[in-house]
Amino acid sequence: MIKWLLLSYFFLLPLLADEPIVPIPLDEPIDIPKAKLGQELFFDTLLSRDNSTACVSCHDIYSGGADERSVSIGFNGAKGNIQAPTVLNARYNFKQFWNGRANTLLEQATGPLSNPTEHNMDPKKVQDRVSLSNKYKKMFKEVYGTYSITYELILDAIVEFENALTTPNAKFDKYLRGEIKLTHEEQEGYKLFKQYGCITCHNGINVGGNSFQKMGTFVAYNASTTFPDRSEITHNMEDINVFKVPTLRNIAKTAPYFHDASARTLKEALSVMSKHNLGIELSNQESDKIILFLETLSGEAPKILDTF
């Protein structure tokens, strides 16, 4: 986490040197034709065994990039085992999935495709289905210069689209760049956010997504329930209930909250986090101010969506 923060600070403008949150870059380099191909694939139910599920089915990129359901529904009506996180700004996460089992978006992209409760596919079946499409043959020829469609190229295109799903120009980003001022209440909310220690885990360019933390640092949190947490990767009992810290970018649009989708509103989420991970109880006034600050983290829709 410390290494990540140091790297983040390196790119800050001098006037932002003391800020723990970094604005999203305005112009990330993207291969647009490749990303548009990836967008077609992201929206295509052809990539699921029963043609019922597309990537967008569980990641509503027009409204926060997450799933409004507690768990997603996949192949043959099967239910997932954890709340689907947002795919927006996922390129800035240091790991992917709640338990960090994927190091890159490329590793992450193959997970849902092969998961029997999601797309329930295998690389060959994905490759064969896409290869039968005249539309995709033409698009792959234009983008990659070949009619030979491989699973690796399919993943490459999807990842390029996901890399394009950034949401710059949030009100708070504009404030950090000195372009606008926050309201008094938003400023107060940000001060409280830092004062009570929320900033310890939610910082950097993604306001999270750059460390693992235990859910229930001060007060145990649902210790009797089982979700795919960090302990499934490390096999260390100390990592039970440890998850990747979620991004707070566009948080006002990604309810329900937490890995278990147990909080339906931001106010409820703040109440839970302040008790279990900060060891404090926020007043209603404090919660309202912090929520006003959190709402300033909602950015613009990704530019790549404009021409779909």
Burial 51-68 (b: 16+ CB within 10 A, else e): eebbbbbbbbbeebbbbe
Rg, the chain, Cα only: 20
User: Which of 118, 162, 186, 286 does the annotation list as catalytic?
Assistant: 118
Contacts of 257 (CB under 8 A, 6+ apart): 251, 263, 264, 266, 268, 269
Give yes or no for a contact between 187 and 292, defined as CB atoms under 8 angstroms apart. no
Mark whether 268 is an active-site residue.
Answer: no
Please report, to the nearest 10 degrees, the dihedral formed by the alpha carbons of residues 274, 275, 281, 282 taken in order.
20
Contacts of 179 (CB under 8 A, 6+ apart): none
| Separation CA 259–CA 229 (nearest Å) | 9
Q: Is the peptide bond before 168 cis (omega within 30 degrees of 0)?
A: no
| Separation CA 43–CA 53 (nearest Å) | 9
Q: Which amino acid is at 260?
A: D
Nearest to 298 by CA among 205, 169, 175: 169
Please spell the DSSP secondary structure of 156-197, one letter per residue: HHHHHHHHT------HHHHHHTTSS---HHHHHHHHHHHHTT
Q: Which helix (H) or strand (E) holds 213?
A: strand 212-214
| Separation CA 251–CA 247 (nearest Å) | 8
| Separation CA 244–CA 186 (nearest Å) | 26
The residues annotated with a catalytic role in the active site are: 118
